[in-house]
């Protein structure tokens, strides 16, 4: 004998199927709500990461643009300096080097003579003072300077003095230096 009393009415097979379907629908609805919530949270996180990356990239682009602008400024300055250097080189190329003229004159003057003064003006006119122990060396040098194959033209003897204390002839020669054809 069964002494238990069931106060709940017993469910029919239809009611059991209905309850089972309801549970399935409720479960699926809960899963869909969870998916929507997680998708929303994931969307917010991804959006914040993308926004952060975009701001970093914007900062990087601004920095790169600033660096590029400074390089452009440097390139313009370099071009300006390069142009000035080229102009200086052009002026130097057109100018006569006094050292070359002096070395040329020294190569002509005999070893027993001494050069004491040298000047060269912008028109390639030179003037040199030479000392010699004897008059014969002076005469030989003057004849040598008259040679047309030399690069010294219009050579003139401007002054000659004899110092009896030192037994030395001092003479001053001037003329025009003609640079070589190749420079």
User: 98-177 has which fold?
Assistant: Gyrase A; domain 2 (3.30.1360)
Residue 6 binned pLDDT confidence (cut-offs 50, 70, 90): low
C-alpha–C-alpha distance, residues 16 and 183, integer Å: 116
C-alpha–C-alpha distance, residues 154 and 177, integer Å: 9
Residue 4 in this model has a pLDDT that exceeds 90 = no
Residue 34 binned pLDDT confidence (cut-offs 50, 70, 90): very high
Residue 14 in this model has a pLDDT that exceeds 70 = yes
Domain boundaries, the chain: 14-95, 98-177
Per DSSP bridges, beta strands 152-163 and 168-177 are antiparallel
Angle between helices 98-108 and 135-145 (to 10 degrees): 120
Query: How many helices and strands (H and E) does the chain possess?
Result: 3, 4
| Range name among 35-44, 59-68, 72-81, 138-147 with the lowest pLDDT average | 138-147
Residue 3 in this model has a pLDDT that exceeds 80 = no
Q: What pLDDT digit, counting tens, does each position of 97-136 carry?
A: 778 888 888 888 888 888 888 888 877 788 888 888 888 8
DSSP E strand boundaries for the chain: 114-120, 125-132, 152-163, 168-177
Tokens representing 49 are 């990461």
Residue 70 in this model has a pLDDT that exceeds 90 = no
* Strand, coil or helix: 7: coil
C-alpha–C-alpha distance, residues 99 and 97, integer Å: 5
Mean of all residue pLDDT scores within the chain: 84
Q: How many CA atoms lie within 13 A of 168 on its CB side?
A: 13
- pLDDT at position 176 is 83
Residue 67 in this model has a pLDDT that exceeds 60 = yes
Residues contacting 128, CB < 8 A, separation 6+: 105, 115, 117, 118, 119, 172, 173, 174
Q: How large is the average pLDDT for residues 6-33?
A: 83
**CB distance 173 to 155 below 8 Å:** yes
Q: How large is the average pLDDT for residues 38-64?
A: 87
Q: How large is the average pLDDT for residues 162-178?
A: 86
- pLDDT at position 35 is 94
Residue 142 binned pLDDT confidence (cut-offs 50, 70, 90): confident
> Which of 170, 150, 148, 160 lies closest to 108, judged by CA?
150
């Amino acid at each position: 004998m069964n002494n238990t009393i069931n106060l709940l009415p017993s469910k029919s097979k239809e009611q059991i199927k209905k309850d089972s379907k309801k549970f399935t629908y409720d479960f699926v609805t809960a899963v869909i709500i969870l998916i929507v919530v997680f998708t929303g949270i994931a969307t917010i996180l991804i959006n914040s990461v993308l926004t952060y990356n975009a701001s970093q990239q914007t900062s990087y682009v601004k920095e790169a643009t600033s660096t590029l602008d400074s390089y452009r400024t440097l390139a313009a300055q370099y071009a300006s300096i390069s142009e000035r250097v080229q102009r200086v080189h052009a002026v130097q190329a057109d100018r006569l080097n006094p050292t070359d003229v002096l070395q040329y004159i020294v190569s002509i003057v005999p070893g027993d003579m001494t050069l004491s003064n040298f000047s060269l003006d912008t028109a390639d006119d030179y003037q040199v003072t030479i000392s010699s122990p004897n008059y014969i060396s002076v005469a030989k040098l003057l004849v040598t300077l008259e040679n047309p194959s030399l690069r010294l033209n219009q050579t003139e003897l401007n002054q000659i003095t004899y110092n009896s204390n030192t037994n030395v002839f001092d003479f001053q020669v001037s003329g025009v230096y003609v640079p070589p054809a190749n420079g």
